[in-house]
Amino acid sequence: MTFYATCIAEIGRKQIEYYEFFPSFADKLVAGLGKYLGDEKSVALTTNKDHFQFDIMYRHEGLGFECGRYRIPIMIKFDNLKKPGFLLQRISLYCSKTGNCIFVSINDELPLEIQESEMDNLYNKIYEYLCSSFSKDSWFESNKKDYQATGIGFLANE
């Protein structure tokens, strides 16, 4: 067998392994993360496309390969405590697996190594990621005076 054929065979074997393993891992992740966050119905798998709504009917539609890793897009729903409505936060987990070790990156962060039986480390990491994303100012918030002064169509109620 040539080197090229060996590489193709290995990629095919890995894809089959991932397609067998990661859909059930994603279901376990969604259920466990919902419990961890205190609301089992607050986490769902989502698409990796244009849709941006909370819908548990997506199921495994968004799962798949991206840049050699297995993508698990999830959406988390946070209820607004002061008025009706909610906030949606979508994140993508990029996973790979070697033996019993699973490597998970949240969006473009460094991967976390976990065992499937020890998911709490992953839940903690997702929680920390969510907290840090809420604490960061957006570019518009940080540069409010700059873009308001340009007259490009943003209105301010100050």
Tokens for 157? 């109620």
Cα-based distances in Å from 14 to 69, 92, 114: 10, 20, 19
State residue 14's pLDDT score: 78
- The per-residue pLDDT for 58 is 67
Per-residue tokens: 68: 């050699």
Burial of residue 116 (number of CB atoms within 10 Å: 0-12, 13-18, 19+)? middle
- pTM for this predicted structure: 0.75
Average pLDDT per run of 10 along the chain, which is 158 residues long? 81 81 93 92 80 65 83 87 78 91 92 91 93 70 58 47
pLDDT at 29: 94
* Calpha distance 54→96 (Å, rounded): 26
Q: Under DSSP, is residue 78 helix (H, G, I), strand (E, B) or coil?
A: strand
